[in-house]
C-alpha cells in the first residue's frame, strides 16, 4: 500500500512538473517560492533577517519561453495584422513609379529625371534605414507603441504631401515623414510574425509580404483614377484614409509572443552581426540585388511610354507587376520551407536578373512590357518575403529585431543610390533609350544572385540539400 501511494504521489508530481514547465507564470511563481524557502532557512542563522532580506532583493527570474506554435488562431491574427501593415507600408512604397511619372509631368516638370528620383529613392531609403531604431525598440517594448507612432507619422506625412507644391515639401512629407512611419509599421509587422513561427516562418512571412503586393496593386490604380476625378490633393487624402483604416486593424491584432524588457541602446549590438560570415554574405547579396531591384518599379511606366504605350495602359504596369508579386511572395515562401530558403532565394533572384537582361532590355513594344511586368513581379516578389526569413534563420529569435534592423539599414543605401544612378544613366549615357539603366540593373542583380550562392554555402555547404 505504501508503494502504491508512493507511485501515485510520484505520478502526480511528474504531471505537475510537466504542467508547470509549460506555464511560464507558474515557473516564475515556483522560482519565487523556492527563493523564499531558501531565504527562510538561512535566516535562522542571520543576525538581522529583515535587513538581509531588504539588501538581497528579489531574485532575477527568467521566463521560460516555449517553441513558436507555428499556427493557431492567435498566430494567424498576427499575420492578418502584419498583412495590413505591409499593405500600407511596403505596398505604398511599391507604387513609386506612379509618382515618378506624375511628378515629372506636373508639379516638378522643371526638374530633371534624376532630381525627381531623389524623392522616391529617399522614400525607400528612409523606410529601411530606420530599421535599427525600430528594431531595438521592438526588442525592448514590443510592437504596440512602434505601430502607434508609425500610424501617426505615415498618415500625417501623406496629408502634408497632399498640400505640397514645392520640391522641398515633397522631400519632407513624402521622402522623410511618411516613410519613417512606414518603417515603424514594416518592422513591427515583420518582427512580430517571426516570433510566432519557426518551421513555417517563410510561408507566414510570404503571406505577410503579399499584403505589400496587394497594396502595390490597389494604390497605383487609386492614384491614377482619382487624380483626374478629384485632383492630386484629394487623391492623396483618400489614400491616407484607407491607410488609417488598415492600420486600425493592425493596431488591434499585432502582438509579439516574447516578453520584452527595456534595453539600453548599444550601437555595438548592430555591429556584432557583421562579424559573422554567413550574415555578411547574405547582406552583401541582398545589397547588390536590391540595388537594381527597384529600377523596374520606378521606370517601367516611363520606359513603356517612351516606346509608344498609351498613358492609360502604362498606368496598369505597376498594378500588373504587384499583382503577380502576390503569387511570387506566397508561393516562394511555401516552397522555401520545403526545399530550403536559401535555395529558393538563389532561384528567384537569378530568374529576376535574367528577366531584366533578356526581356526588359530589348523590349520596345506593349506586349514585352506587359509580359515583363507580370514575370518580374513574380520573381522579385520572392525577395521581399524571403529576406527576413533568411535573417531569422541565421539569428537568435530574441535578437531578430536588432539583426533585421542592421540588415535593412545597410540595404537602404542601395535603395537610396540605385534609382538616382539609373535616372542619371537615361539622359547622360544614352540619348535614345533606357539601355544604360537596364544594363546596370541586370548586372548588379546578377552579382547579388551569385553572392546568394556563396551565402548558401556558408550556411549549409554546397550539397543539394534543403538550406
pLDDT tens for each residue of the chain, 467 residues long? 444 444 434 443 443 343 333 443 333 333 334 343 344 344 334 444 434 434 444 544 445 567 778 888 999 999 999 999 999 998 898 787 788 878 888 888 888 877 888 888 888 889 888 988 888 888 888 899 999 999 999 999 999 999 999 999 999 999 999 999 999 999 999 889 988 988 888 888 889 988 988 998 899 889 989 999 999 999 999 999 999 999 999 999 999 888 888 877 777 878 888 999 999 999 999 999 999 998 998 888 888 888 888 888 888 888 899 889 888 888 888 899 889 999 999 999 999 999 999 999 998 889 999 999 999 999 998 898 899 889 989 988 778 878 888 898 899 899 888 888 888 887 654 455 788 889 999 999 999 999 999 999 999 888 877 77
Query: Which residues neighbour 293 within 8 Å (Cβ) at sequence distance 6 or greater?
Result: 352, 380, 383, 418, 441, 445
Residue 465 parent element (H or E): none
Exposed (0-12), middle (13-18) or buried (19+): which is 44, by Cβ within 10 Å?
A: exposed
| Structure-block grid coordinates of residue 381 | 516578389
Distance CA 112, CA 22 (A): 62
Locate CATH 1.20.1250.20 in the chain: 68-265, 266-415+423-466
What's residue 63's pLDDT?
A: 55
Distance CA 286, CA 390 (A): 10
Distance CA 341, CA 335 (A): 8
Distance CA 126, CA 96 (A): 14
Residue 308 parent element (H or E): none
190 contacts 82 by C-beta, under 8 angstroms = yes
How many C-alpha atoms does 248 have within 13 Å on its Cβ side? 6
Sign, CA torsion 243/248/249/254? positive
CA 393 to chain centre: 15
Global pTM? Answer: 0.72
| Structure-block grid coordinates of residue 296 | 523596374
What's residue 152's pLDDT?
A: 97
What's residue 74's pLDDT?
A: 92
3-class DSSP state for residue 233?
helix
What's residue 64's pLDDT?
A: 55
- The number of beta carbons lying within 10 Å of the beta carbon of residue 355 is 23
284 contacts 164 by C-beta, under 8 angstroms = no
What's residue 217's pLDDT?
A: 87
CATH of 68-265 among 3.20.20.70, 1.20.1250.20, 3.30.565.10, 3.40.50.300: 1.20.1250.20
Residue 328 parent element (H or E): helix 317-339
Q: Crossing angle for the helix pair 435-460 and 341-355, nearest 10 degrees?
A: 170
What's residue 94's pLDDT?
A: 78
| Structure-block grid coordinates of residue 455 | 551565402
Exposed (0-12), middle (13-18) or buried (19+): which is 154, by Cβ within 10 Å?
A: buried
| Structure-block grid coordinates of residue 13 | 508530481
What's residue 46's pLDDT?
A: 42
What's residue 32's pLDDT?
A: 39
304 contacts 178 by C-beta, under 8 angstroms = no
Of 60, 20, 456, 114, nearest in space to 261 by CA: 60
Query: Which residues neighbour 170 within 8 Å (Cβ) at sequence distance 6 or greater?
Result: 103, 107, 108, 119, 161, 164
- What DSSP assignment string belongs to 340-365? -HHHHHHHHHHHHHHHIIIIITT--S
Number of H helices and E strands in the chain, helices first, is 21, 0
Q: Which CATH architecture has domain 266-415+423-466?
A: Up-down Bundle (1.20)
Amino acid at each position: 500500500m505504501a508503494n502504491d501511494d508512493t507511485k501515485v504521489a510520484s505520478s502526480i508530481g511528474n504531471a505537475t512538473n510537466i504542467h508547470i514547465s509549460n506555464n511560464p507564470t507558474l515557473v516564475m511563481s515556483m522560482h519565487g517560492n523556492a527563493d523564499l524557502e531558501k531565504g527562510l532557512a538561512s535566516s535562522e542563522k542571520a543576525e538581522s533577517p529583515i535587513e538581509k532580506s531588504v539588501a538581497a532583493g528579489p531574485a532575477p527570474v527568467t521566463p521560460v519561453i516555449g517553441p513558436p506554435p507555428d499556427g493557431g488562431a492567435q498566430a494567424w491574427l498576427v499575420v492578418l495584422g502584419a498583412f495590413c501593415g505591409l499593405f500600407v507600408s511596403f505596398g505604398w512604397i511599391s507604387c513609386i513609379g506612379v509618382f515618378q511619372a506624375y511628378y515629372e509631368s506636373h508639379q516638378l516638370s522643371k526638374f530633371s529625371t534624376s532630381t525627381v528620383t531623389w524623392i522616391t529613392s529617399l522614400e525607400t531609403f528612409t523606410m529601411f534605414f530606420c530599421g535599427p531604431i525600430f528594431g531595438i525598440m521592438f526588442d525592448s517594448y514590443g510592437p504596440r507603441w512602434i505601430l502607434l507612432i508609425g500610424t501617426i507619422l505615415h498618415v500625417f506625412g501623406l496629408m502634408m504631401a497632399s498640400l505640397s507644391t514645392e520640391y522641398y515639401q515633397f522631400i519632407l512629407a513624402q521622402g522623410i515623414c511618411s516613410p519613417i512611419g512606414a518603417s515603424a509599421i514594416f518592422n513591427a509587422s515583420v518582427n512580430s510574425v517571426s516570433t510566432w513561427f519557426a518551421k513555417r516562418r517563410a510561408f507566414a512571412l510570404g503571406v505577410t509580404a503579399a499584403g505589400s503586393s496587394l497594396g502595390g496593386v490597389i494604390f497605383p490604380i487609386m492614384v491614377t483614377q482619382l487624380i483626374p476625378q478629384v485632383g492630386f490633393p484629394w487623391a492623396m487624402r483618400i489614400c491616407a484614409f484607407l491607410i488609417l483604416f488598415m492600420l486600425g486593424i493592425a493596431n488591434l491584432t499585432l502582438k509579439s509572443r516574447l516578453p520584452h524588457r527595456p534595453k539600453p541602446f548599444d550601437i555595438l549590438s548592430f555591429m556584432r552581426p557583421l562579424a559573422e560570415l554567413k550574415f555578411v554574405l547574405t547582406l552583401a547579396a541582398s545589397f547588390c540585388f536590391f540595388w537594381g531591384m527597384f529600377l523596374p518599379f520606378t521606370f517601367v511606366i516611363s520606359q513603356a511610354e517612351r516606346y509608344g504605350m498609351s498613358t492609360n495602359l502604362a498606368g496598369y504596369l505597376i498594378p500588373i507587376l504587384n499583382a503577380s508579386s502576390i503569387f511570387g511572395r506566397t508561393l516562394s515562401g511555401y516552397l522555401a520551407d520545403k526545399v530550403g530558403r536559401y535555395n529558393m532565394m538563389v532561384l528567384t533572384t537569378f530568374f529576376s536578373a535574367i528577366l531584366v537582361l533578356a526581356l526588359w532590355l530589348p523590349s520596345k513594344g506593349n506586349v514585352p512590357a506587359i509580359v515583363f511586368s507580370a514575370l518580374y513581379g513574380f520573381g522579385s516578389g520572392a525577395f521581399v518575403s524571403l529576406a527576413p526569413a533568411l535573417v531569422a534563420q541565421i539569428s537568435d529569435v530574441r535578437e531578430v529585431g536588432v539583426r533585421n534592423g542592421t540588415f535593412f539599414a545597410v540595404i537602404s543605401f542601395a535603395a537610396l543610390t540605385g534609382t538616382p544612378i539609373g535616372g542619371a544613366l537615361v539622359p547622360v549615357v544614352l540619348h535614345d533609350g533606357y539601355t544604360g539603366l537596364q544594363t546596370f540593373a541586370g548586372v548588379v542583380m546578377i552579382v547579388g544572385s551569385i553572392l546568394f550562392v556563396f551565402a548558401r554555402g556558408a550556411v549549409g555547404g554546397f550539397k543539394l540539400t534543403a538550406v
